[in-house]
């Protein structure tokens, strides 16, 4: 029986084809491991035991008949609880959706069902993806598998913790301002935010529609490329999704990186991402990584992204405005939320006040109120319109810089995972956790968080690679080359 630790998508597929184990054996082993460990970690909100075993057994039956299977057949995957799977609860970690069962599959779930992936369950998150620590979940606290007194990051903290704790081979999360990359960095796994539009958002419970993007959380960069390739592409139910230009060459580059081409890349280092306030351990770790990548023959160049300093302010105007619009649909009626107050509601307005007041948590309320304010008459031009203009300047900075370099390397977070409760009383300090990840969302660019592999002890630290639009193969190829050099054991059978 193959141990679950360090089991990757690639290793699982190879072992399954060679009959080292069956899909049902691995699915059952993961479910037992979840039962044993997740009470302490809290990665999952719900478990899909019956469905997971049924699909795993069906994959084994196909193999027994001599049928060919794809690279994701039987692979046990965890899904963030704001992504719809037909027939399973989808709460977005909010009381207002506590009783909602999805009536259809998200676009990416349809793709993975066609690939015959096994869905182990739905993972915990910050309510409606609003947070950087998974402390805003209405249901439970998720703990960092490397230190149970610390947060796993957010908002995809449950997905990152599940992969890091070997409670899933891989997972899916969503990233609006760093919600895949930050928890990946805190938990020591790989997290990819694809180019905006590269992956369908159909069936993703929306937070901020011009920023949201679904992406993979995996144990290796190679797995990230494999899972991204499985979910990417145009979807008729998402008008912002598109087929990636030059798809055939793109897939070849993505799944089989050309070492010579990777060595020819020029990586930009923006001074604005290395302020004096940057945690010293993080700075040293990134410096070591830069030296390691340089030793592989990759060139570096100093660049400037001057409008980066406005990104956080810009984001916290645009994002709440879109939150206010998107969350207006959750009235507590359509999705079955019942008020718990003693006095029954007497009119429609009363129903809304009671259901939304009880159903939304504090952070959701804060962002709805802020978003409603910046969109209100007399303030729209002063705040929302101005923020969109600044967003254009930030995007221009990236476009100009990426004419000189092929990708950009930065820290993912100002420091390693912080302690549970450390920042909950100060929202602004919490928001600053995403200061290095937000700009890529505003610009719509692909970005990946990769663990610093040279660091052998202490809490995980990640570095970020930001690429040109539709150039995931550049950042994943470089990450793959780095991992193969610094952590070859990840790719050994």
Which residues have a catalytic role annotated? 80, 155, 179
Strand 266-270, strand 299-303: pairing: parallel
DSSP state of 244: P
What are 332-336's contacts with CB under 8 Å, separation 24+? 332/96, 332/356, 332/359, 335/96, 335/97, 335/99, 335/100, 336/99, 336/100
Structure tokens, 488: 């070859």
Structure tokens, 91: 């709460």
Closest of 175, 230, 253 to residue 438, by C-alpha: 175
* Residue 136, SS3 per DSSP: coil
Distance, in Å, from the CA atom of 135 to the CA atom of 126, rounded to the nearest integer, reads: 6
Q: By the 8 A CB rule, do 298 and 365 touch?
A: no
Listed in sequence order, the DSSP H helices in 216-330 are: 221-231, 247-255, 259-263, 280-295, 311-326
Task: Give the dihedral sign, CA 84/334/99/54.
Answer: negative
Which residues lie across from 79 on neighbouring strands? 122, 172
* Residue 153, SS3 per DSSP: coil
DSSP state of 343: S
């Amino acid at each position: 029986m193959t141990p679950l630790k360090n089991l990757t998508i690639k290793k699982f597929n190879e072992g399954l084809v060679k009959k080292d184990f069956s899909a049902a054996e691995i699915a059952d082993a993961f479910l037992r491991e979840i039962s044993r460990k997740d009470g302490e970690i809290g990665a999952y909100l719900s478990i899909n035991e019956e469905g997971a075993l049924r699909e795993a057994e069906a994959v084994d039956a196909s193999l027994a008949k001599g049928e060919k299977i794809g690279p994701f057949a039987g692979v046990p995957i965890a899904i963030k609880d704001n992504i719809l799977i037909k027939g399973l609860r989808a709460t977005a970690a909010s009381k207002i959706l506590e009783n909602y069962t999805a009536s259809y599959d998200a676009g990416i779930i349809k793709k993975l069902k066609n690939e015959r992936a096994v869905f182990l369950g739905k993972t915990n998150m910050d309510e409606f993806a609003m947070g950087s620590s998974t402390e805003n979940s209405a249901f439970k606290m998720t703990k960092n598998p490397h230190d149970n007194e610390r947060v796993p990051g957010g908002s995809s903290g449950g997905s990152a913790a599940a992969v890091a704790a070997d409670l899933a081979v891989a997972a899916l999360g969503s990233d609006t301002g760093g919600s895949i990359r930050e928890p990946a960095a805190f938990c020591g796994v790989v997290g990819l935010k694809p180019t905006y539009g590269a992956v369908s958002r159909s069936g993703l419970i929306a937070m901020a529609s011009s920023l949201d993007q679904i992406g993979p959380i995996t144990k290796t960069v190679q797995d990230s490329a494999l899972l991204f390739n499985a979910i990417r592409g145009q979807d008729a139910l998402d008008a912002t999704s598109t087929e990636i230009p030059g798809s055939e060459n793109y897939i070849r580059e993505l799944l089989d990186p050309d070492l010579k081409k990777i060595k020819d890349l020029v990586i930009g280092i923006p001074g604005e991402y290395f302020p004096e306030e940057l945690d010293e351990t993080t700075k040293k770790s990134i410096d070591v990584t830069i030296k390691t990548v340089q030793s592989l023959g990759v060139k570096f160049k100093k660049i400037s992204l001057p409008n980066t300093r406005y990104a956080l302010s810009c984001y916290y105007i645009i994002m709440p405005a879109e939150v206010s619009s998107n969350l207006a649909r959750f009235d507590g009626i359509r999705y079955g939320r019942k008020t718990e107050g003693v006095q029954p509601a007497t009119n429609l307005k009363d129903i809304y006040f009671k259901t939304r007041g009880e159903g939304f948590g504090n952070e959701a309320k804060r962002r709805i109120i802020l978003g409603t304010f910046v969109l209100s008459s007399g303030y729209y031009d002063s705040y929302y319109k101005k923020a969109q203009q600044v967003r254009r300047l930030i995007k221009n900075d990236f476009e100009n810089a990426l004419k000189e370099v092929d990708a950009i390397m930065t820290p993912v977070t100002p420091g390693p995972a912080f302690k549970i409760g450390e920042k909950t009383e100060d929202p602004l300090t919490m928001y600053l956790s995403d200061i290095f990840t937000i700009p890529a969302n505003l610009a719509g660019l692909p970005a990946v968080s990769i663990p610093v592999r040279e660091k052998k002890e202490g809490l995980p630290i990640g570095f970020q690679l930001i690429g040109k639009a539709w150039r995931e193969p550049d950042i994943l190829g470089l990450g793959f080359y780095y991992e193969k050099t610094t952590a070859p054991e990840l790719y050994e059978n």
